[in-house]
Amino acid sequence: MLLKKGVILTIAAASIFAFQAKEASANSIHTVKEGDTLWNIGKEYGVSVVDLKNVNQLESTIIYPGQQFTLPSSISSEERQLLAQLVHAEAKGEPYAGKVAVATVVLNRVDHKDFPDSVKEVIYQKANGHYAFTPVQTGTINERANSEDYEAVDEALAFNGQGKGSVFFYNPDTSSSKWIFSRQTTLTIGNHVFAK
């Protein structure tokens, strides 16, 4: 009986860690392997391709095996988990691209002057008595994210700085805010309209 509990615990722990991207710490180095691309490196470490190019003063996206790149800083593993939980709560049943777009909205807000400066602060932001994200108010933010949610976060991190600048999203069938309809639409994916 003890063996079975140990096996179950090991499987549970392995499944939790399977969703973790390699964390890029200050001055981490990645040596390019055959088949690597900047996009794959960005997704592997959860770092922006734009930042990866800037930190390494790359003028091109062409890379070669053996090159060494300094990895830019990224969000913490705790913020990555929180962002994946928000993606899970906000974009259940939405296409994968919609999940990436939801994560991108949060990252865009972190970079925008009108919003807080961290993933956690953006997600838990409350203004004029209203939470920025409904799952924070309802508690569904606490549901466990799945592997696709984490993958969407890593893709959004790699894509950070290259999108259309969306800082809002809403479902036009359920939204009652006239203000949100006045925002410039950047794209529509599934049931969500993204805007800035």
Between CA 148 and CA 94 the distance in angstroms is 11
Cα distances (Å, whole numbers) of residue 99 to 13, 103, 112, 121, 166: 25, 6, 20, 20, 13
Using pLDDT thresholds of 50, 70 and 90, give the confidence band for residue 18.
very low
* Structure confidence by residue, pLDDT tens digits, 62-115: 999 999 999 998 999 999 999 999 999 999 999 999 999 999 999 999 999 999
* Region 141-149 average pLDDT: 97
pTM for this prediction = 0.81
Q: What's residue 123's pLDDT?
A: 98
Between CA 61 and CA 117 the distance in angstroms is 29
Between CA 38 and CA 55 the distance in angstroms is 13
Q: For residues 167 and 103, is the Cβ–Cβ distance under 8 A?
A: no
Beta strands, E only, 27-153: 29-31, 68-70, 126-127, 130-131
Q: What's residue 168's pLDDT?
A: 93
The residues that bridge with 187 in the sheet, in sequence order, are 194
130 Cβ contact partners less than 8 Å away, ≥ 6 residues apart? none
Using pLDDT thresholds of 50, 70 and 90, give the confidence band for residue 26.
low
